[in-house]
Structure 1
Amino acid sequence: MKIGFIGIELEEGKVKFNDKNLNALEKKDKPKKVTPFFAEFVQDKSDLHEELAQVDAIIIPQESILDLLILDIEKLEIRLERAENEVEQKLLQTALDKLEEEIPLCDAGFNPEDETIILSAAPFSLKPVIQINGDEESDDLIDQVLQKTGYMFFYTTGPSESHAWLVKKGSDIITCAAKIHSDLARGFIKGDVVDFDDYLECHNFNECKSKGIARVVDRDYVVQANEIIEIRFNV
């Protein structure tokens, strides 16, 4: 995940997220390998703001939000002049009104269909925008970005590796299996799922199964945040 930032002091590059859940799994399972989540911070430093076009979310001081919205106003005004479709014209004008009210487009309540039309103008604030006050630690910023973008973690863990996996909230277990390895999704049979806190109370995943704490789920199961999963598969 790439996170753009404007007007704040941060180092560019990849930053390891200090995941308390993963730390707990490492302490419990003592795996040979631990794989955390890394976010990449990208500073906006070009006149054309090319960096912002490539990121998944934008962090900006609250007092500087107007600078970002002015860039979007200019983009939408140019697009509005060229728009021939009445539906697009009305939607772009509504978006402009929101920007003039100092509301980022991501917070303006547009539905996905409307957002697709507005994207023709390539506005920056349609991406998730996180406004901050004062200095904040990287971990806090990453956590805010994950909340704003609708992402969550699930985990796989055991003696060989504890791994944090990032997926969109609402992802089914097939999507999560594919995140781990395409073979797991292709040959999916069943999934075993344990709540994070329940897992910490057991010696290992097998004990979760023997105690009936692990739930056997089908391919349409929607994985919840922080769950521990195992995939039964055959290819």
Structure 2
Amino acid sequence: MTYNVQVGSGGYVGWKILERSMARQKEVFSQTVSEKSVKEYFTKNISGISSADELVGNYKLLTVTLRAFGLDADINNRFFIKKVLEADPNDETSLVNRLADKRYLKMNQEMKLSGSASSGTVDAAAIITKYDERSFEKNIGERYPEIELALNAQRELPSLASSETSDNAKWYQILGSKSLRQIFQVAYGLGSSFSALPIDRQLSEIKSKTEQFTGSDSAAQFESSTSVDSLVRRYLLRNQIQASSTASSHANALTLLRG
């Protein structure tokens, strides 16, 4: 049995529908036969994995692992994933620390298969929780990718914003995340050419736009759910404007954005 999460016709209206039914729909989705089978296999077998080679060699376990960290697209990049898992997370010069996308570092740390952490035990329940969240989002994203991106931002931004790093470092992490960058780029109307700018110019532009819209250029403000909700609303409405095929729907979205 499969279940498609219900979000109406997507967009901002679909987001509001999902907000009201999120808890119930998550419960239904997580209990489908296909989802339960995958999770039971992972929970039963992950404790027997002691090396990166073994993990990348087991398609079912690797699929759950990559989904848990939002790295589904790397399912066929097994040599790269093996190197990521084996890299020393405590060495600032290692591969996993040089990657701008910090999802790889999180996967490395939690799967505990590097030489410095191979004696640790994987928290299977924590991985399954992440897998559940991403699978729920992915189910929606297959039909309405804008809502998947919004859910990702709602989950990832507060954690990033509250991290003990400099404000610029937080912005660089946002710019290094394809999904978070997309949220800001669309919400602020930065245009497709934004990502082609030198990284320092991107930093300057995104901070300037943030101050224009919120009164502060600090990434730390997104620790607040209110700030994240405001950003997501602006993203969804601007995305709707871009995708609108009729003048009336364009006007309705623009009215909401100004409200």
Scaled by the length of structure 1, the TM-score of the pair is 0.28
Structure with larger Rg: 1
Q: Judging by fraction of residues, say which structure has more strand.
A: 1
| RCO comparison, higher one (Cα < 8 Å, 6+) | 1
Scaled by the length of structure 2, the TM-score of the pair is 0.27
